[in-house]
Amino acid sequence: MKKYTEPKRYLISFDSRTSSHVFTDILVIGSGVAGLSAAIQAAKHGSVLVVTKDKIDENNTAYAQGGVAVVLSTGDTIAKHIKDTVDAGQGLCDTAMVKNIISEGPQRVNELIEWGAAFDTENNHLIFTKEGGHQFHRIIRAKGDSTGKEIEHTLIRTVKRNKNIKIFEYTFTTDLITKDGVCHGAIAWHAKKGYMLIWAKRTILATGGCGQVYRETTNPDVATGDGLAMAYRAGVTLQDMEFVQFHPTTLYIAGAVRFLITETVRGEGGILRNKRGKRFMPAYHPQAELAPRDVVSQSILKEMQKTDHTHVYIDIRHIPKERLYARFPRIREICASFGIDIAKDLIPVRPSAHYMIGGIKVDRFSRTIIKQLYACGEVACTGMHGANRLGSNSLLEGLVTGYNAGADAGKSIQKAQGELIPYTVQEFMGGSKISWLDLNDIGNSLKSLMWRDAGIERDERHLLEAEEMVEMWCSYVMDKEFSNPTGWELQNMLLVSRLIVISARERKESRGVHHRNDYPNTDNIHWKKHIMVKKSKS
């Protein structure tokens, strides 16, 4: 077994006897759909503190375009939604979890509507659309392509009206405080307030994904895998880290961020064409442009290789202009800023890293193996998505698992006896060698390496190269003690990248979003199982 440079238990030196202390019943780390849903439920039972490393609405939720997959339309059923989800997951879904989340979904969405979420309607009825992998029109959206933002702002309004919830913005959580397999809160840092120890009876991780470990990603800058890394350092089990979903269609123009061209564009009739103008998806899958995301991403990559081109195009010129402008106002605005009229021009697109399917292993109540610690949303691995997430299931999962995490954490503190009593805890890094490091250069090199060697297509040679390079960088970055988020985020990204790579090397088959050129077939005999990673005890 290869020996790795395991990260130190904590990223910083601290002493509880000389640190600032904050006390709350329930600590929620992260402010996306799952975190805020958890906070709202937990606040029914005690005081809640939401900590987020940027402003409250800077997260993956706010950037989500497509919509929420939910069984609310006439003729649709829970069973149909379950089948589509399990089919997309290619043998690795936890069917009980799929059933629980999908069954609870309508109640959570209706609750959101009661709080003021304005989903798109026609004649006072919700509008439902279809996306890849769905056999039914069950996707609801808000303002065309701004669903995540509408959900996020609805939850923020609800949170800010609640006197039991406090919010710390621009506060970076470096690590969880644990003792004897129990979580007691976290260590956090604020540029003006400095370091603080936040003591909590229950802690809920809702820190989102890790798309920033890849050069091409739809994720915002904050998605650096911090929750995954701090959970690993604390001894939590992570699962399915090899399954990173790449969204098939993101805007590809020099100078543009990898802006998502939502799957709903294809659901509305968008056609994928190569550089010669030829439609190609029917040759790869009977559902063509509405095939599951892993199929579309891999097909686009093959087409790019065949035509020796950096991207393909999505064609929506045949859809009436008025409909396009009404359905996709944000996409129209972004494309227009680069001189593209979506009603007249082809939109250049290519895949980008989009969603971490794996994460912190949790049970149906979002509990981890560490007592008093929960995880929900993208940072968690519920087993709902298996090897490939069905489009628009993530916001649904965040709503349901966030609700359940907050409710369970809240109810559990009612049963707990006694006050929250801090204890003495110290960490001295020691032996950290001082050297000049260009952190941005290492970060950019890491992102390029992960995109090239652990991206949409993988093989043993490239994964081994990635493993060796990441380990080399870890050897002289992990022993340093940094004093700001730039350094901490790099350490977290290196750790998460290593977990992705070693899991991808171990899974010697192709399944869902994990495609290996050297093992192109799905092997149910040996690999219809989950890969777990957990820190070895030092």
Given CATH 3.30.70.1070, say whether it is the number of domain 248-352: no
Q: Determine the Cα–Cα distance for residues 375 and 363; give it in Å rounded to an integer.
A: 9
Per-residue confidence (pLDDT) for residue 435, from 0 to 100: 66
Contact 35, 50 (CB under 8 A): yes
Rounded alpha-carbon distances, angstroms, from residue 411 to 1, 115, 367, 408, 477: 43, 23, 13, 5, 41
Q: Where are the domains of the chain?
A: 14-243+357-415, 248-352, 431-521
With CA atoms as reference, report the closest residue to 400 among 75, 26, 105.
Answer: 105
Architecture in CATH of 431-521: Up-down Bundle (1.20)
Per-residue confidence (pLDDT) for residue 424, from 0 to 100: 85
The catalytic residue positions are 293
Residues 343-375 pLDDT 10s: 999 999 999 999 999 999 999 999 999 999 999
With CA atoms as reference, report the closest residue to 242 among 11, 532, 501, 491.
Answer: 501
Per-residue confidence (pLDDT) for residue 88, from 0 to 100: 92
Per-residue confidence (pLDDT) for residue 130, from 0 to 100: 85
Q: For tokens 């798309």, what's the residue?
A: 211
Q: Give the number of other CB atoms < 10 A from CB of residue 514.
A: 27
With CA atoms as reference, report the closest residue to 208 among 189, 192, 194, 229.
Answer: 229
Q: Give the number of other CB atoms < 10 A from CB of residue 525.
A: 7
Per-residue confidence (pLDDT) for residue 1, from 0 to 100: 42
Percent of the chain with pLDDT over 70: 97
Q: Determine the Cα–Cα distance for residues 208 and 219; give it in Å rounded to an integer.
A: 10
Percent helix, strand and coil across the chain, each to the nearest 5: 35, 20, 45
Region of 288 on the Ramachandran plot (φ > 0 left; ψ -120 to 50 alpha; else beta) = left
Q: For domain 14-243+357-415, which CATH number applies: 3.50.50.60, 1.10.150.120, 3.20.20.140, 3.30.70.270?
A: 3.50.50.60
With CA atoms as reference, report the closest residue to 239 among 371, 403, 386.
Answer: 386
- Strands (E) across 127-241 are located at 139-140, 165-168, 171-179, 182-190, 194-205, 238-239
Residues 128-177 pLDDT 10s: 988 888 989 999 999 877 899 999 999 999 999 999 999 999 999 999 99
Per-residue confidence (pLDDT) for residue 140, from 0 to 100: 94
> Which stretch of DSSP H or E encloses residue 24?
strand 20-29
**Weakly modelled stretches of the chain, pLDDT under 50:** 1
